[in-house]
Amino acid sequence: MKLFWAPNSRAMRALWMLEEIGQPYERILIDIRNGAQDRPDYRAINPLGKVPAIDDDGVIVAESGAVIAYLGDRYPAANLAPKIGDRTRGPYLKWLFFTACIEGAILEKFKKLDVPKSTAGWGSYALVVEALDQALQKGPWLLGDHFTGADVVIGSDLWFGCDLFKIIEKRPSFAAYIERCLARPALQRAMAIDKAASEAAASKS
Ligand SMILES: N[C@@H](CCC(=O)N[C@@H](CS)C(=O)NCC(=O)O)C(=O)O
C-alpha cells in the first residue's frame, strides 16, 4: 500500500487511518509547496493534483473520503468500517460523504460567500455546524461506542476547521470530540510523522 501525501494537508486523515489499521504501508512525499502535485507522474495518479491518494498494487484511489472508505473495507480486521449489509453502514457512509458538506461550509465562512441554501449543496455553514453538533452530543464517536473511519474524516475536518484554521466555531461538543481524537495513539503517531516531515522541509528551505 502506497500513500501519496504531504505534511500539513488533508493527507493527514489517510495517514491517521493507516496508523489506525497498523498494516505496513509506504509513504511517498508529494511536495505540494514546490509543485510536485502538478508533475505529469503525479497527475497520472490524481488528475486534480491533490493529496491524499493511495496505490494498492495498481488500484489508485484519490479523494480522502473514498480513501478512508476503501482502506476501511480493505482491512476488515481493523474493524474501522461496518460490514456491507450492516445497518450502521448507513450513518457511516453519510458521515464519510459529509466531508464534502464541511468543505463547502468552510469555504462559505472563510470567503464570506452569500449562497442561497437551495443553491449550496451543503445548505449553509450554520446548518452544517448544527448537524455536526447534534451528531456529537452523545458520543463518544459518531456511531456511538464504535470508532470508525467516519471519525477519522470528521475528526480531521473539525480539527482542521476549529484548531488549525480557526474557521469553525469550537462548540463544546466539538472540543470534547477533538480531544478524544487527539488522545488516540494512531493520530499521535500520524501527527509525529507529519511534524517530522514539516520540520525536515523547513530545515531545507
Ligand atoms: N477533495 C480532496 C481535497 C484534497 C486537497 O485539497 N488537498 C490539498 C492539500 S490540503 C492539495 O493537495 N493541494 C495541492 C494543490 O491543490 O495544488 C480530498 O478530500 O482528498
Tens-digit pLDDT profile for residues 113-167? 999 999 999 999 999 999 999 999 999 999 999 999 999 999 999 999 999 999 9
Under CATH, which number does the domain 2-78 receive?
3.40.30.10
Under CATH, which number does the domain 89-185 receive?
1.20.1050.10
The domain spans of the chain are: 2-78, 89-185
Instruction: Give the pLDDT confidence of 73-117 residue by residue, as tens digits.
Output: 999 999 999 999 999 999 999 999 999 999 999 999 999 999 999
Taking the centre of ligand 1 as the mean of its atom positions, its distance from the CA of residue 58, in whole angstroms, is: 21
pTM of structure: 0.97
Place of cell 468552510: 106
Percent of the chain with pLDDT over 90: 96
Taking the centre of ligand 1 as the mean of its atom positions, its distance from the CA of residue 87, in whole angstroms, is: 31
CB 148 near ligand 1, within 6 Å: no
CB 31 near ligand 1, within 6 Å: no
Taking the centre of ligand 1 as the mean of its atom positions, its distance from the CA of residue 5, in whole angstroms, is: 10
| pLDDT above 80: residue 205 | no
Residue minimizing CA distance to atom 11 of ligand 1? 50
CB 55 near ligand 1, within 6 Å: no
